[in-house]
Amino acid sequence: MEGTMRGVCKMAPGKGAEYRTDLPIPQTGDDEVLMKVHASAICGTDLHIYGWNEWAANRMKNLPIVFGHETAGEIVEIGKNVTGFQVGDRISVETHIPCNHCFQCENDRRHICENMKLFGVTEPGAFAEYAPVPKDCIVRLGDGVSYEMGAMLEAMGAGVHGVEKAEVRGKAVLVSGCGPIGLMVAGACKAHGARRIIACDILPEKLKLAEAMGADVTINSMETDIVQAVRRETGGAGADAAIDITGNGRAIVAGLRALRKGGRMVSVGLPSGEIPVNLTEDIIYREIQYTGVSGRQMFATWDDCMEILQSPGFSLEPVMGGRYPLDGFEDALAAIQGGAPGKMLLIP
């Protein structure tokens, strides 16, 4: 496909990004499809790229580049090595681009590939009218899944992966952080059969959304001691599992201490630095199982997400925030930074 397109581009190191109307439409490689973008969601990673923190500076060596990785659209061109898809297919995109030959890839753990590339970070992304999608990253959308819902599945998958690791069925679960991923985690816990869902955050409007997503109890951690509150809600025993979306050190330690002995802690959110933890008292003596998750299992977690979307009572609507045109991306970023609840979407 020839011509130019509109898009949001990270032009150079430093804070900021630029809306452009003269970007070349990507050429479709042999191992890619070209996707016409219908919706893209803004992630915390995109804020890091815009603000140009240490994480972004260490990974993005290929500027200028269109960024954005949570997206959905339709296939308009297909590379010669791509099979199983056709023009017109409705798709979402897995962010992790595996090498397919390292130890992790050869042992069905492509989501933690040793040579990982990242769609919308190290490779061109989706804050534009068109995006090139590697064949290993194509996810077909289920019937009834809108493009806006499809744009949220990548983030939902990270949370659902955490729910899978926590094995929540029949358990009392603490969900720390009620941003978009935390809200979807609360809904996924309910769909997976959690016995009791306790959600905490510092913003009342986010806690109200957590109730809409299925939380049985909500706690404002600015006003209430989380450990004491969780123990009250669990008859003194503590939560069976805790899933942290915040990446905040104090929230992680509180989550650990809110667990019963033998409980399970799952970290989804990314801390910005090292976190001091009392391994002896908080983990070892209490036999706490602690694990982290990185993205989504390819593609078992995606299949799980599609099933959850069909669960009675589950809806992504409470998680959807504002909808903005591409040239309104600065307004969308400002809304997120201002604490607006829900996921902000860019609609080309």
Fold of 4-141+316-347: Quinone Oxidoreductase; Chain A, domain 1 (3.90.180)
Run of H or E including 44: helix 44-51
In this prediction, residue 138 carries a pLDDT of 98
Question: Where in the chain are the domains?
Answer: 4-141+316-347, 159-292
pLDDT tens profile 196-216:
999 999 999 999 999 999 999
When pLDDT is cut at 50, 70 and 90, the band that residue 312 belongs to is confident
User: Is 69 an active-site residue?
Assistant: no
Task: Tell me which of 321 and 242 has the higher pLDDT.
Answer: 242
pLDDT tops 90 at residue 327: yes
pLDDT tops 90 at residue 310: no
Report the C-alpha gap between 342 and 178 in whole angstroms.
9
In this prediction, residue 1 carries a pLDDT of 85
Are 4-141+316-347 and 159-292 in the same CATH fold? no
In this prediction, residue 288 carries a pLDDT of 98
In this prediction, residue 313 carries a pLDDT of 86
In this prediction, residue 339 carries a pLDDT of 85
Of residues 23, 66, 16, 60, the one with CA closest to residue 330: 16
- Round to the nearest angstrom and report the end-to-end CA distance of the chain: 18
Of residues 134, 130, 128, the one with CA closest to residue 9: 128
Q: Which of 4, 28, 38, 45 is catalytic?
A: 45
pLDDT tops 90 at residue 100: yes
Cα dihedral: 60, 63, 68, 72 (round 10): -120
Q: Which of 4, 21, 28, 48 is catalytic?
A: 48
pLDDT tops 90 at residue 180: yes
**Phi/psi zone of residue 113: left (φ > 0), alpha (ψ -120 to 50 degrees), beta?**
beta
Threshold 0.75, pTM exceeds: yes
Show Cβ contacts of residue 310 under 8 Å, excluding neighbours closer than 6 positions: 142, 144
In this prediction, residue 341 carries a pLDDT of 87
Inter-residue contact 163 to 227 (CB < 8 Å): no
Report the C-alpha gap between 150 and 38 in whole angstroms.
10
pLDDT tops 90 at residue 94: yes
User: Is 111 an active-site residue?
Assistant: no
Report the C-alpha gap between 193 and 50 in whole angstroms.
38
Alpha-carbon radius of gyration of the chain: 20
Task: Find the helix packing angle between 147-166 and 180-191, rounded to 10°.
Answer: 70
Of residues 115, 136, 111, 128, the one with CA closest to residue 294: 111
CATH class for the region spanning 159-292: alpha beta
Cα dihedral: 70, 343, 222, 189 (round 10): -70
When pLDDT is cut at 50, 70 and 90, the band that residue 284 belongs to is very high
Show Cβ contacts of residue 75 under 8 Å, excluding neighbours closer than 6 positions: 33, 34, 35, 36, 85, 86, 87, 88, 89, 91
